Amino acid sequence: MALLEVQGLKLALRGHSSGLRFGRARRIEILKGIDFTLDAGESLGIVGESGSGKTSLGRTIIRLHEPSAGSVRFADREITHLNASALRGLRKDMQMIFQDPMSSLNPRRRIGPILAQPLHAFDRRTKAETVQRVAQLLDLVALPRSFAARYPHELSGGQRQRVGIARALALEPKLVIADEIVSGLDVSTQAQILALLRSLKERLGLALIFISHDLSVVRVLCDRVLVLLAGEVVEQGPCEEVFRKPRHPYTRELLEAIPLPDVDPDWLDAVAVDP
């Protein structure tokens, strides 16, 4: 039984009108009909270069953008055109972790209230229950409980991203969408976050959509991968298969362009100097 079914999903956003063009601003097609399904507990990597639409896809699924065509079914419910109040109920089960934890955590709030916010948005809880749940969440992402009293800017990048993860898990969602969440981090911090996410995914049975430009990172975390190019899916399949035997030339190009940490004097020469 698929948890999430995406069919023919299209997204068009209003572009900036440039120059002396009168009338309505042009609409730019960002997603050109995306199809995929995701089972409960499964993890899917969405990869692509800048402009491929991978971030927009994540945001359209969670309805931060309004799709222009196609359908999204979540837990057997059509959610494509739900109105705002119906969406709120849905959001309990579908959460997002953002790319830049510095900008996704309100700089004027302490960590405790940030983590308590999703709790307040849905249930009435006593103060003691909230405090306890916040402590649990901090434990879950291996942060000291004392961090509840700190501000986001007092934390390191890796710690902030842990807060982002904790906030997404606060409501015990079934699906988490993670958008480039390790791209700004050092290798060692990145490895810690990946390890944390991997263990949380298994312990909590989360379904995960992991959006990244880095195919190596996707390999660590995902069962399946979907390759986007200019708003279209060029290839999807199990990570094993796609990474070992890419079928589409673009996937092959992407993989070959990744500099693996092996000394290889011929690697650079294999590509033309011209763009």
Residues between 78 and 107 with contacts to other proteins, criterion CB under 8 A: 84, 88, 91-92, 94-96, 98-100, 103-107
Please say whether the beta carbons of 173 and 94 come within 8 A: yes
Min CB(35)–other proteins separation in Å:
24
What is the pattern of x (binds other proteins, CB under 8 A) and - over residues 201-220? Answer: ------------xxxxxxxx
In terms of CB distance, is 99 or 236 closer to other proteins? 99
Q: Rule CB under 8 A: is residue 110 a binding residue for other proteins? A: no
Q: Rule CB under 8 A: is residue 267 a binding residue for other proteins? A: yes
Which pair of tokens denotes residue 260? 């693996």
Which pair of tokens denotes residue 263? 């000394």
Tell me, what amino acid is at 257? A
Min CB(272)–other proteins separation in Å:
8
In terms of CB distance, is 6 or 246 closer to other proteins? 246
Neighbouring residues of 243: CB distance < 8 A, sequence distance ≥ 6: 215, 219, 225, 255
How far apart, in whole angstroms, are the C-alpha atoms of residue 122 and residue 118?
Answer: 7
Q: Rule CB under 8 A: is residue 263 a binding residue for other proteins? A: yes
Q: What number of chain residues touch other proteins (CB under 8 A)?
A: 71
In terms of CB distance, is 33 or 191 closer to other proteins? 191
From candidates 54, 160, 167, 224, binder to other proteins by CB under 8 A: 167
Q: Rule CB under 8 A: is residue 50 a binding residue for other proteins? A: yes
In terms of CB distance, is 40 or 191 closer to other proteins? 191
What is 131-190 written as a DSSP string? Answer: HHHHHHHHHHTT--GGGGGS-GGGS-HHHHHHHHHHHHHTT--SEEEEESTTTTS-HHHH
From candidates 25, 122, 205, 247, binder to other proteins by CB under 8 A: 122
Q: How far, in whole angstroms, is CA 173 from its chain's centroid?
A: 14
Q: Rule CB under 8 A: is residue 68 a binding residue for other proteins? A: no
Please say whether the beta carbons of 231 and 53 come within 8 A: yes
Min CB(146)–other proteins separation in Å:
19
Stretch that binds other proteins, among 20-28, 75-83, 129-137, 256-264 (CB under 8 A): 256-264
How far apart, in whole angstroms, are the C-alpha atoms of residue 134 and residue 117?
Answer: 10
Q: How far is CA 144 from CA 111, 135, 158, in A?
A: 11, 9, 13
